[in-house]
A and B are shown apart, each in its own frame.
Chain A
């Protein structure tokens, strides 16, 4: 027999799943270090001229991408929580463009 606790747990699982997903609200930063205004994802955009790397990291996660064709855009992202600092790292042949902060649906 289902209890109220089971009912709550099932509802929380479904809602929590949506809460963690990217919520289509994007704030663009032109600096390479910023503090997340809410829970969500930090995505970095850059342009490379030669084989080189682009990385974005917070205190626990790092994402790295490499360039294959000169002049191509490079993009990578990490999940980030509210108040956490996010920093971009790049090779010398990479021109930084912007960082997009994508707020999650449930982001505080």
Chain B
């Protein structure tokens, strides 16, 4: 029979792994050169699509220490992402005038985690905690 410690560790690993994964909730950002402060943990994502015009290079850096440089050739599409923590800033340079998109994607842990909703629910029901 698994011990409480083993059960807790298994749960922590499963939940922890899920927590860092990207969710589907995105915030669209403007093209060009900008600095963006992450409102929560997540990923800075860039899609770049070039038509028949010349190929272009785009750059992305975060204050967390990660950087990206990528070249998108003519008539090609590329996509990259860099993780960023809440409060860290990202400066990016993505050319406008092309079929490109920059957006911030929240992690699953941010969407499904946190205690506010749980505590509100517990107080509203007037219930007490217990092991399930």
Contact = CB atoms under 8 A, between A and B. Distances in A.
A2 B118 contact: yes
A82 interface: no
8 contacts: A13-B18, A13-B113, A14-B109, A17-B109, A41-B65, A43-B67, A100-B65, A106-B16
Contact of A22 (B19, B84, B121, B125): B84
Contact of B83 (A10, A16, A41, A69): A41
Given A10-B114, A13-B15, A16-B18, A22 B67 contact: no
Which 5 A/B pairs are nearest by Cβ-Cβ distance? A17-B109, A16-B19, A13-B113, A20-B20, A14-B113
A3 B129 contact: yes
- For A5, A13, A43, A102, which residue has the most chain B Cβ atoms within 10 angstroms? A13
Given A21-B64, A23-B64, 9 more contacts: A2-B118, A7-B129, A16-B17, A17-B108, A18-B41, A18-B109, A21-B85, A26-B65, A105-B85
Interface string B113-129: 11101100110010101
Nearest to A14: B113
Given A13-B15, A17-B41, A22-B66, A7 B83 contact: no
Given A7-B118, A10-B115, A22 B131 contact: no
Contacts, number: 154
B62 A22 contact: yes
Nearest to B107: A17
A43 B110 contact: no
Nearest to B67: A75
